[in-house]
Amino acid sequence: MRKLTASNLVHYINQLDRHITFNYVNPTTKGVIKIERITLPEGPIRIKRWDPSKGEVEGKKKTESISSELIWRVANAFLPDTPINLERVLGASYNTRSVFEALLAHTPEFYFCYPGRIETTGGHPTIKKGHKHLIWKPNDPHKSGVLVETKTDLAISEIPITNAVYDSLVLPETLKIQPLDIEIKRRHAQIQIALYFIGRQLQYRTWVAKNDWGILYKNKKLAEFEGIISSLKNEKIMLAYDDAIKAALFIDIIWFKNSRLMPAVMEIEHSTGITSGLSRMKNFYDIIPPSETKYVIVAPDEDRDKVIREANKSQFRDLKIRFFPYSAVEELYSLCNRRKLRGVTEEFLDCFMEPLLQ
């Protein structure tokens, strides 16, 4: 199945006319958008936006940026002929999300649509008018530079109040991302604990770096929490590889699943150099047999460019590093706290982790 990348989306928008303004998809939004410049291959995209109905003019508006992180998050969400609500994909993040939606909708392979919304009251489902979505139709392009609506017979189900089994992820319109409620001083430890709770919610067992076992949270050592692995020798995937066990001892977080899978190996780089974490993961990667494991750097959002530079050095390219920014950790943690996620696959994590290989 064809998948989109940030490079694809940036390329599509790069084909739009720089000399004209573009309208928002929502006709009640009177503002206009103009593309200023685009950094290839993956952004950022810099734009200006203003509202002529309020007397605003282009010359007095500042240039704003659509980040590469936003573009990757959107690219990972799309499958052919599947309606996607960008507000739900991006949650409360990014104040340029409606601008990116508008520009994308003006490119030939993207249409806007209003799929029905299934609402269940008293056990009786009814289909009501749905919210605005974009749909990617790579085999049916329209004229560039115009907004085109397409009809769809699809209807999207409401999320239950307590438990949700996700075939595809649809978030409520009112979702608000809350700051981490993990009260601990060190930011590194806070993120590490958040990753443990995320893994726990996704039914993963978690290895925490041996030197962090003594971290105290809620009057209990981290090593004493349910689901924390006490010995890597207990994991079947590691059993025959003593050297790999030694290489993994001080990796910040490793997730295990079903005795056969290792969904992610993660290094949190808050104030230390990124190279040390990459080196630990590379040592481990070189010893353990090949698998579908994601190798991930978790770091502040503003460190993205630095992570890209380091991850693309020749000695680390085999890792195919992904970037898991703190904002995405907080978003996923908030989602796990609000909804008892079940039935999601490892691909679910792709919505939060950006591939960095260039």
What is the Cα–Cα distance from 200 to 323, expressed in whole angstroms? Answer: 21
| Residue 124 vs residue 82, higher pLDDT | 82
Query: Per-residue confidence at 182, pLDDT binned at 50, 70, 90?
Result: confident
What pLDDT is stored for residue 131 in this prediction?
79
Q: What is the pLDDT of residue 126?
A: 54
Confidence class of residue 151 from pLDDT cuts 50, 70 and 90? confident
pLDDT in tens, 20-42: 999 999 988 899 999 999 999 88
Judge whether residue 170 has pLDDT over 70. no
- Which 3-state string (H, E, C) describes 119-160? EEECCEEEEECCCCEEEECCCCCCCCCCCCECCCCCEEECCC
Task: Please state the rounded mean pLDDT for residues 173-196.
Answer: 76
Cα–Cα distance, 169 to 344 (Å, whole number): 9
- The yes-or-no verdict on residue 222 having pLDDT over 70 is yes
Residue of higher predicted confidence among 30 and 273? 30
Is the confidence at residue 302, as pLDDT, over 70?
Answer: yes
Instruction: Answer whether residue 175 shows pLDDT above 50.
Output: no
In this prediction, residues 176-182 reach a mean pLDDT of 64
pLDDT of residue 58: 94
Per-residue confidence band for 247, with pLDDT thresholds at 50, 70 and 90: very high
Report the pLDDT value the prediction gives residue 27, as an integer from 0 to 100: 87
CA atoms within 13 A on the CB side of 351: 21
pLDDT of amino acid 23:
96
Question: What does the pLDDT average to over 335-343?
Answer: 74
Residue 260's Cβ-side half-sphere holds a number of Cα atoms within 13 Å equal to 1
| pLDDT for 86 | 87
The whole-number pLDDT of residue 277 equals 93
Give the per-residue SS3 of 271-287. Answer: CCCHHHHHHHHHHHHHH
Query: What is the pLDDT, as a whole number, of residue 66?
Result: 93
